[in-house]
Amino acid sequence: MSTIQETDTLAVTQVLGAPKESAWRNFISQFFRNKAAVVGAIIIAFYVFIAIFAPLLAPYDPYEIQLENKLQSPSIEHWMGTDDKGRDILSRILYGSRLSMGVGFAAVAFGAFFGILFGLIAGYYGKWVDSLIMRCMDVLLAFPGILLALAIISALGPGMINVTIAVGAFSVPLFARIVRGSTLEVKKLEYVDAIRSLGAKDRTIIFRHILPNILSPIIVQGTLRIATAILSAAGLSFLGLGAQPPSSEWGTMLSGGRDFLFSAPYIAIFPGMAIAILVLGFNIFGDGLRDALDPRMKN
């Protein structure tokens, strides 16, 4: 049987929420219990490390053409071999991590920014504002995956920046849906009424009091979307619509390796493996985050 003091403490905890420190500790213990998620975090950390230190780690200049070394199989000198222009594939992959990850992060940041904004406005104001915004989001979701990106690139032209915008654009409705749902839940809570009754402006309520409380599903969605964004951007570069040669972006490298599939398959094998391992890392890290931060989303 609980004492009065314990009951009071419980009541206070229920009103104010668990202390931040214990929530953080709970998240950490939940996360570290999931071994796959930890592996995902290590993979991502490894890729971030090689992206930062690529100039120190790369054994050769990734852009230097040495035709006398062209199409060399993997060896001690060139661990992953060389491409048709004699460039070291390992060095190009190391440098390429900057581009491939950069476009993934930037596209998700772009999609998240607009998606969160639309979702917050739709969820908070409701009524016709909600209907208008969410019907627009439904329309964007009516485009199959990469096709919306293709339409945008056809208008803006090929290139990394346009690919980032195009890939980010089809993330907007996904973020908007999640944020709207969470906002609808949170805005009904008593603390929001309390803040409103104190005369706080809508902008303050939305960005300072609702947004910080719905970050969990946004972080989970963001992590999982980075994986999709990296895949989509690499796919567009593979089609020749994103990064252009001699860029060492992985999709572009793979596209270049296509022509040598019969004679030098390693040109295509290694960049593809680099993409697959990084995407796998984000997927299992995202799954782990979801289980630790938002168990309701677990299925």
Q: Which residues bind other proteins (CB under 8 A)?
A: 135-136, 138-140, 142-148, 150-158, 227, 231, 234-235, 238-241, 251, 254, 257-258, 261-262, 265, 268-269, 271-272, 275-277, 279-280, 283-284, 299
d(CA 233, CA 239): 10
Q: Shortest Cβ distance from residue 289 to other proteins (Å)?
A: 15
| 51/236 with CB nearer other proteins | 236
Q: Shortest Cβ distance from residue 108 to other proteins (Å)?
A: 17
Q: Shortest Cβ distance from residue 177 to other proteins (Å)?
A: 13
Q: Shortest Cβ distance from residue 47 to other proteins (Å)?
A: 13
Beta bridge partners of 82: 88
Buried b (16+ CB within 10 A) or exposed e, 270-299: bbbebbeebbebbbbbbbbbbbbbbeeeee
d(CA 13, CA 182): 22
77 sits in which H/E element? none
d(CA 290, CA 40): 13
| 47/238 with CB nearer other proteins | 238
| 74/272 with CB nearer other proteins | 272
| 217/235 with CB nearer other proteins | 235
| 19/145 with CB nearer other proteins | 145
Q: Shortest Cβ distance from residue 293 to other proteins (Å)?
A: 18
Could you tell me which residues come within 8 angstroms of residue 82 by beta carbon, excluding any fewer than 6 positions away?
66, 69, 70, 71, 72, 88, 89
